[in-house]
Amino acid sequence: MTHSEENYLKGIYHLSKGGSVAVATNAIASQMDTKPSSVTDMVKRLSEKGLVDYRKYQGVSLTESGSRQALKIVRKHRLWELFLVEKLDFKWDQVHEIAEQLEHIESEVLIDRLDALLNYPDFDPHGDPIPDKNGVFKTREKKLLSAMPVPSEGLFVGVKDSSATFLRFLDKHRIALGKKVSILEKEEFDHSMRIRLDGEAFRISHQIASNLYIKPNAVP
Amino acid sequence: MTHSEENYLKGIYHLSKGGSVAVATNAIASQMDTKPSSVTDMVKRLSEKGLVDYRKYQGVSLTESGSRQALKIVRKHRLWELFLVEKLDFKWDQVHEIAEQLEHIESEVLIDRLDALLNYPDFDPHGDPIPDKNGVFKTREKKLLSAMPVPSEGLFVGVKDSSATFLRFLDKHRIALGKKVSILEKEEFDHSMRIRLDGEAFRISHQIASNLYIKPNAVP
DNA sequence: AATTAAATTTAGACAAATCTAAAAATTTGT
DNA sequence: ACAAATTTTTAGATTTGTCTAAATTTAATT
Ligand SMILES: [Mn+2]
Ligand SMILES: [Mn+2]
Ligand SMILES: [Mn+2]
Ligand SMILES: [Mn+2]
């Protein structure tokens, strides 16, 4: 597989949310930052290779084989991201671009060793699950902060938007993975919320709240 | 620069032994395992970009800029090789192919961090010098074992042939970098030699002896 | 149901990197 | 010095991945 083919598979995987839902040509084009006509071309090639199911005008979905391949790339991407953060002291907003390159390195044993070096991690620096050798990954209950009841509590476990600008915004406000969050109040008018974090209470906009994943505390 | 362009620059660099000697089209073709006509094409592209000096039928040489680029790739290749050996427990015969891929990862800061993680090393797992950020590398006196006088002593510091088969052969005979070597005897007839290593004396063929680099012990 | 709008595909072009076969230049040998 | 051998370049084709512009299909609206 070429880098481009791998990138398309990964893109389709993300759009179909892992499932085998059909994805539209235009959706792929904007995901991959390319033109619909290029997508059609590539999708035909992938279909030839048995990696996607494609019916003209009806969208594409990953085959079993395509899905396996996509998961391998996702696994590599996330392992490399974690490596960069854990072993080379990168910040979580600096690793994605480099991992976009590293994910294409072909070596089964390299990835196995990396996995071992990192102690077989379950999640990447952004809280996304890392598939294991067989493509299986841990799931955990999580809700968007904006969808949490008032009052309630939970742990901050992931970001929906993982753009560098958003991540740096979170850094600035000391919002980091693993921290405990209490939901204090929700404003009807603009859907902004008051939360407590590190003992300190403050207000965040709906925009922010709808990009943070919270693992709700079990309520007995 | 594309991967292919980078590979050509590195190939030309190795053939011209770092200097600005002109290299023949056929030489490049066999180094790169490609056809002379492909070399001519690529060399024209590189010339357009100011990375090589090229005069038809007269061979190519790296420009200042081309040389800088080539050294960057060599630096990355060797740092990655050392990383694989030091941090991921690869053997010295398993790292080259993976480093061939990793050397193309584009990120200045990544290489700086890797360099720091490895403590700013001077030599790679095969005894080849690692250029620093500015392309400068340590040189050390070294001679082919086959060229050493009898009797004499030195340290095994590098291999000329770094093919996996040769490296595994060395492993089998417990010939490893840094070990002390005594040259005991040289055979006129077939140029084989008797040497002592790890206290044990044995005979090696000329083929072997002419692929091992020795740093001669200073004789006062 | 017909028209309009949107999504998708096709046709044709282009750059990069490669190849084979043929032509041209250089080098070698007598 | 000149023919033969070798090296190098050119010409033309192919694959991959992309694009623009035009045609086609599907979806939405009157
Ligand atoms: Mn990422
Ligand atoms: Mn991530
Ligand atoms: Mn190497
Ligand atoms: Mn090496």
Rounded to an integer, what distance in angstroms lies between the CA atom of residue A81 and that of residue A126?
A: 9
Confidence at A218, pLDDT banded by 50, 70, 90: confident
User: Which has the closest alpha carbon to B128: B95, B79, B180, B65?
Assistant: B79
Q: Is strand D in 7 Å reach of the CB of B24?
A: yes
Before A151, cis peptide (omega within 30)?
yes
Domain boundary among B62, B91, B108: B62
Q: Answer yes or no: is A153 within a domain.
A: yes
Report the separation in Å between the CA atom of B146 and the middle of ligand 2, taken as the mean of its atom positions: 53
Name the residue closest to the C1' of D24 by its CA: A57
The string of pLDDT tens digits covering residues B172-187 is: 999 999 999 999 999 9
Rounded to an integer, what distance in angstroms lies between the CA atom of residue A90 and that of residue B113?
A: 9
Rounded to an integer, what distance in angstroms lies between the CA atom of residue A14 and that of residue A23?
A: 10
Q: Answer yes or no: is B88 within a domain.
A: no
User: Which has the closest alpha carbon to A132: A153, A111, A152?
Assistant: A111
CATH number at residue B191: 2.30.30.90
Please report residues of A whose CB lies closer than 8 A to that of B110: 84, 88, 98
CA distances for A187 relative to A146, A150, A176, A195, angstroms: 11, 10, 24, 12
* Cβ within 8 Å of B, A 121-160: none
The verdict on a CB contact (< 8 Å) between B101 and A113 is: no
Of B40 and B18, more confident: B40
Are B120 and B132 in contact by the 8 Å Cβ rule? The answer is: yes
Find the domain containing B171 and state its range. Answer: 143-216
Confidence at B19, pLDDT banded by 50, 70, 90: confident
Instruction: Examine the pLDDT at A219 and tell me if it is beyond 70.
Output: no
Nearest nucleotide, C1' to the C-alpha of B38? Answer: C18
* Percentage of chain A lying above the pLDDT 70 cut: 99
Q: Answer yes or no: is B107 within a domain.
A: no
CATH number at residue B17: 1.10.10.10
CA distance B34 to chain A (A): 20
| pTM summary value | 0.95
The mean pLDDT of B37-48, rounded to a whole number, is 97
Residue of B nearest to A116 (CA): B88
pLDDT confidence of residue A18: 81
Q: Answer yes or no: is A154 within a domain.
A: yes
The mean pLDDT of B54-67, rounded to a whole number, is 96
* Cβ within 8 Å of B, A 83-102: 84, 87-90, 94, 97-98, 101-102
Confidence at B77, pLDDT banded by 50, 70, 90: very high
Confidence at A20, pLDDT banded by 50, 70, 90: confident
Report the separation in Å between the CA atom of A96 and the middle of ligand 1, taken as the mean of its atom positions: 4
Q: Is strand D in 7 Å reach of the CB of B43?
A: yes
**Domain count across chain B:** 2
pLDDT confidence of residue A220: 67
Domain boundary among B14, B35, B62: B62
Question: Any chain A CB within 8 A of the CB of B24?
Answer: no
Rounded to an integer, what distance in angstroms lies between the CA atom of residue A115 and that of residue A124?
A: 12
Are B61 and B47 in contact by the 8 Å Cβ rule? The answer is: no
Are A95 and A125 in contact by the 8 Å Cβ rule? The answer is: yes
Q: Answer yes or no: is A54 within a domain.
A: yes
Domain boundary among A62, A80, A108: A62
3-state secondary structure chain A: CCHHHHHHHHHHHHHCCCCCCCECHHHHHHHHCCCHHHHHHHHHHHHHCCCEEECCCCCEEECHHHHHHHHHHHHHHHHHHHHHHHHHCCCCCCCHHHHHHHCCCCCHHHHHHHHHHCCCCCECCCCCECCCCCCCCCCCCCEEHHHCCCCEEEEEEEECCCCHHHHHHHHHCCCCCCCEEEEEEECCCCCCEEEEECCEEEEECHHHHCCEEEEECCCC
The string of pLDDT tens digits covering residues B112-169 is: 999 999 999 999 999 999 999 999 999 999 999 999 999 999 999 999 999 999 999 9
Neighbours of A53 (CB within 10 A): 17
Nearest nucleotide, C1' to the C-alpha of A45? Answer: D16
- B44 CA – C24 C1', rounded, Å: 18
Q: Please list, in sequence order, all residues whose beta carbon lies within 8 angstroms of the beta carbon of residue B42, skipping any fewer than 6 positions away.
A: B4, B5, B8
Strand, helix or coil for residue B157 = strand
The verdict on a CB contact (< 8 Å) between B105 and A113 is: no
